[in-house]
């Protein structure tokens, strides 16, 4: 059986919750069924370098500067040779736009944006929606926007105006085995209080 190819695009995978969760999801995909390539517009970051060290392939520094339009062409060439069935973008603005452009050029059939925020703080200290009017236009050209919980999905629909049918929920989670002393009682059951 041919492996399903996934192209993951992000600005960087520095240390952050969304990057940790995404890295863990990618690590758990069965390697005999999925071929995942990582494309970083800028530096791979700490988590990105860890993933490369663990055997993931891809490229970094796809853009020479922020919103470098030539970055979309470099991505499109990489996509054309890799032929992914799915383009997966973090909700980094440049990754969403340049990555989606590259996926369109390369004819990638499906695309998702993994949203991990409920608002962005601007330079003036005011919060603006994660998806403004420009990003809502972009959503018309993606298969799904991934929310991290049902509450997050409601936020994306009600506050940012994303259509319900475009939102899918993949709940955030943590590996409880990494926290046995904290999360387990003497009876061996999880303590959720």
* pLDDT tens per residue, range 49-90: 999 999 999 999 999 887 788 888 899 999 999 999 999 988
Find out whether 119 and 132 touch, Cβ atoms under 8 Å. no
> In the prediction, which pLDDT does 155 show?
85
Residue 27 counted as domain residue: yes
Supply the pLDDT for residue 178: 67
Please, are residues 12 and 43 in contact by the beta-carbon 8 Å criterion? Answer: yes
Give residue 129's pLDDT.
Answer: 64
Q: Is residue 189 in a domain?
A: no
Q: Specify if 192 maps to a domain.
A: no
Note the pLDDT of residue 96: 82
Lay out the sheet containing 110-114: strands in order across: 57-59, 34-40, 4-10, 86-90, 110-114, 144-147, 167-169
Task: State how many domains the chain has.
Answer: 1
Listed in sequence order, the DSSP H helices in the chain are: 17-28, 45-53, 69-82, 93-106, 133-139, 150-158, 180-183
Q: What is the pTM of this model?
A: 0.81
Whether 188 maps to a domain, the answer reads: no
Residue 49: give its domain's CATH number. 3.40.50.2000
pLDDT of residue 57: 96
Give the C-alpha separation, 71 to 49, whole Å: 20
- Cα dihedral: 21, 22, 27, 32 (round 10): 140
Give the model's pLDDT for residue 130. 64
Host domain of residue 25: 4-183
Confidence (pLDDT) at 15: 81
Residues of the chain with pLDDT under 50: 186-193
Task: Kindly state whether residue 74 falls inside one of the protein's structural domains.
Answer: yes
Asked if residue 8 belongs to a domain, the reply is yes
Element (H, E) at 7: strand 4-10
């Amino acid at each position: 059986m041919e492996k399903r190819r996934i192209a993951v695009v992000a600005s960087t995978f520095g240390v952050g919750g969304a990057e940790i969760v995404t890295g863990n999801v990618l690590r758990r995909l069965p390697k005999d069924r999925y071929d995942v390539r990582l494309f970083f517009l800028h530096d791979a970051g700490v988590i990105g370098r860890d993933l490369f060290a663990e055997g993931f392939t891809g490229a970094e520094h796809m853009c020479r500067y922020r919103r470098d339009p030539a970055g979309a062409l470099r991505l499109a060439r990489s996509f054309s040779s890799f032929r992914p069935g799915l383009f997966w973008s973090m909700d980094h603005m440049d990754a969403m736009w340049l990555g989606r452009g590259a996926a369109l050029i390369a004819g990638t059939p499906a695309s998702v944006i993994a949203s991990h925020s409920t608002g962005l703080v601007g330079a003036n200290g005011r919060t603006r929606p994660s998806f403004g009017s420009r990003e809502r236009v972009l959503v018309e050209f993606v298969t799904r926007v991934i929310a991290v919980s049902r509450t997050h999905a409601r936020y994306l629909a009600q506050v940012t105006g994303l259509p319900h049918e475009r939102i899918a929920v993949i709940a955030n989670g943590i590996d409880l085995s990494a926290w046995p002393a904290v999360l387990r009682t003497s009876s061996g059951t999880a303590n959720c209080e």
